[in-house]
Structure 1
Amino acid sequence: MNNKLVVSSSPHIRTKEDTSYIMKQVLIALLPATIAGVYFFRARGLITILACVIGAVVSEWAYCKITKKKTTIGDLSAVVTGLLLAFNVPAGLPIWMCVAGSVFSIVVVKMLFGGIGFNFLNPALAGRAFLLASFPVAMTTWIKPGSNVDATTVATPLSFMKLSGAEGSTATKAIEGLQSAGISISDMFMGNIGGTVGETCAVLLILGGVYLIYKGIISYVMPVTYIAIVIILTFLLGGFNVEFAIYQALAGGLLLGGFFMLTDYTTSPMTVKGQVIYAAIAAVIATCIRLFGGYPEGVSYSILFANCLVPLIDKYVNNRVFGEVRK
């Protein structure tokens, strides 16, 4: 008999898709929004992206070198982390701050916990939270798209809505504030607004998210649940104002977080039911911070908080085991 039956342990179904392949697909999905960030924020946007990416890659390489471990920069996860961090900071953030955020993301949040697959928080969002807590003024200084180096700063759409609705806390006043500033839904859809490097162009973020779903890199469950619940809650809490809900969906980092950071393999639940619960919790927190908190944006903190609940969700939300004897 030439054919032999080989018995081995699971997994029995294997794929050629490794970490580097997945990260390449994420980079491809982020490429359109990256180009848009450079287009809208010119040299400031490009420098910010390069500083964050190079800082992340060098940090991981240096950590592996110092600890005498095999270098892991070849899997491109550091590049993705650096790019996502750049997407979450203002264009023109000082280079040393970009590097500091990258070092925190890679060394403290990722490598000290064992590297990729062992971190319990999303590294890029944790880096953003670190920068926001350490340098709040620099992290809330927004540059007008298309401006030169000496241009004045602008407020983000979320800031306009928060300030305009502060007195009456109504969706109508928030929309009036945006319209008085000349910010339309089309501007937010195309990205011609103030904000972080990668959050402004909604259409390209959606395009990148759809690409990842099409390639099977992420499931539609978490981003759709997250974004849909935020839209529904802002519609209900905004006095059944559809326009307000649309503005909230397109503003800030909702699309960026929903497609590219909420879906991180390591920091999200394993089961579909768990993913729905996880995304729903994050959506409620993001909405509460946006509408009732003192800070206009809540996406980053909502995802980080939900990350902390993932072990608990995975413990209590399990798939049914067939063949198990009923107790």
Structure 2
Amino acid sequence: MEPVKLKVSYAPFVRSKDSIESVMYNVALALFPATAMSVYYFGIPALLVTITAIASSVGFEWLTDKIRKKPDSCLDGSAVVTGLLLALNVPSSLPLWMVVVGSFVAIVVTKHLFGGLGFNIFNPALVARVFLLISFPVAMTSWAVPFAVDMQTAASPLGILKTDGMAALSNFSYMDALLGKTGGSLGETSVLALLFGAAWLFYKRYITISIPLSFIASTLAFTGIFYLIDPTTYASPLFHFLTGGLVLGAFFMATDMVTSPLSLRGQLLFGIGCGLLTAVIRLWGGYPEGVSFAILIMNSLVPLLDKWDLDEIKAKKQKSLTTA
């Protein structure tokens, strides 16, 4: 008899009967409420951005598989989710050719140059967003006004806070922010819709509460400290929760199976790091939003967090063998 061999696979590790395809399409389904709200508020431009991002991501996935002579994976759902997340991270006014460039960066550069699904260490959609933000800052910060018929643009709430201070937010509506009637990326349109989608992922047990809770709690705690110190300069924690990409990032991007830690301790540290970096960038950084940068920075530390846990497990096992 041949010895039994251990087959080592790569993330995402699905601890259920669901296939990767099932998981990915359920994530896409969870993002549907927020996508629908973005189309409701921003109209046809938002729909075109979404379709372009998904179609170009799937196309680049198919083309790269052909070039690499790999099995066709363009319909396994991962490219669809990447395209959808990319669309939710850009404004509805972004030129479509820039959306295609973003898809190329996400699929070809960030995903396949690292080896494909399961080997990338950074979230592809977030790398694409940061690339577009640095390369085309004007286009990436031109936020359409909800229900505008002539593509009228205005600053996002976080942008107003960064440039004009708290005094300029006297008419800010927390209800509008909850429902999504504010300027921003497509995925910043409705916190309520994102929470509905997140509830579906919890129901399907595709994500756990550890990363989102530690991410959001640390952001709110840190911003809350400075709000208590000087509420005339710093916005409230509720403002930071309802504006920007905090909810989208915490529930749908920081929880990415491939680029997040495996252990509970690693996930908590990962979430806390994301939250603290987000708060620091929002309060004192050059950009009004810090979610994307925070998650990508913490993505780079995931191998160390996983190695730390693995080394500890090995040490405990060695100790138990020694004492036995």
Indicate conservation of the 8 Å contact 2:93/2:151, yes or no.
no
Write the mapping of 1:107-186 to structure 2, written as runs, cut at 5 A.
107-148=108-149, 150-165=150-165, 174=166, 176-179=167-170, 182-186=171-175
Q: What one-letter code is carried by the residue in structure 2 that aligns with 1:87?
A: L
Displacement after TM superposition at 1:325 (Å)? 2.9
Write the mapping of 1:2-81 to structure 2, written as runs, cut at 5 A.
15-81=16-82
| Aligned-residue CA RMSD (Å) | 2.0
Which residue pairs with 1:193 in the alignment?
182
Displacement after TM superposition at 1:78 (Å)? 0.1
Q: What one-letter code is carried by the residue in structure 2 that aligns with 1:89?
A: V
C-alpha distance in structure 1 between counterparts of 2:108 and 2:214, whole Å = 31
Write the mapping of 1:153-302 to structure 2, written as runs, cut at 5 A.
153-165=153-165, 174=166, 176-179=167-170, 182-239=171-228, 244-302=236-294
Which residue pairs with 1:171 in the alignment?
none
Indicate conservation of the 8 Å contact 2:58/2:75, yes or no.
no
Displacement after TM superposition at 1:320 (Å)? 4.4
C-alpha distance in structure 1 between counterparts of 2:84 and 2:63, whole Å = 19
C-alpha distance in structure 2 between counterparts of 1:285 and 1:57, whole Å = 32
Give aligned pairs, total: 308
C-alpha distance in structure 1 between counterparts of 2:93 and 2:15, whole Å = 44
Displacement after TM superposition at 1:234 (Å)? 0.7
| Deviations 1:262-311 (CA, angstroms, capped at 9, x unpaired) | 00011111100001111111111110000011210000000000000111
Which residue pairs with 1:93 in the alignment?
94
C-alpha distance in structure 1 between counterparts of 2:84 and 2:200, whole Å = 18
Q: What one-letter code is carried by the residue in structure 1 that aligns with 2:303?
A: P
Displacement after TM superposition at 1:183 (Å)? 2.5
- Give the TM-score, by structure 1 length: 0.89
Indicate conservation of the 8 Å contact 2:178/2:190, yes or no.
yes
- Give the TM-score, by structure 2 length: 0.90
C-alpha distance in structure 2 between counterparts of 1:122 and 1:33, whole Å = 20
Structure 1: which 5+ residue stretches go unaligned?
1-6, 166-173
C-alpha distance in structure 2 between counterparts of 1:9 and 1:55, whole Å = 38
The percent identity for this pair of structures is 43
C-alpha distance in structure 1 between counterparts of 2:151 and 2:22, whole Å = 40
Indicate conservation of the 8 Å contact 1:231/1:245, yes or no.
yes
Q: What one-letter code is carried by the residue in structure 1 that aligns with 2:308?
A: Y
Indicate conservation of the 8 Å contact 1:183/1:193, yes or no.
no
C-alpha distance in structure 1 between counterparts of 2:116 and 2:286, whole Å = 34
C-alpha distance in structure 2 between counterparts of 1:10 and 1:54, whole Å = 34
* Worse overlay, 312-321 or 295-304: 312-321
Displacement after TM superposition at 1:239 (Å)? 2.3
C-alpha distance in structure 2 between counterparts of 1:8 and 1:305, whole Å = 36
Indicate conservation of the 8 Å contact 1:53/1:83, yes or no.
yes
Indicate conservation of the 8 Å contact 1:47/1:92, yes or no.
no
Indicate conservation of the 8 Å contact 2:157/2:183, yes or no.
yes
Displacement after TM superposition at 1:66 (Å)? 2.0
Q: What one-letter code is carried by the residue in structure 2 that aligns with 1:264?
A: D
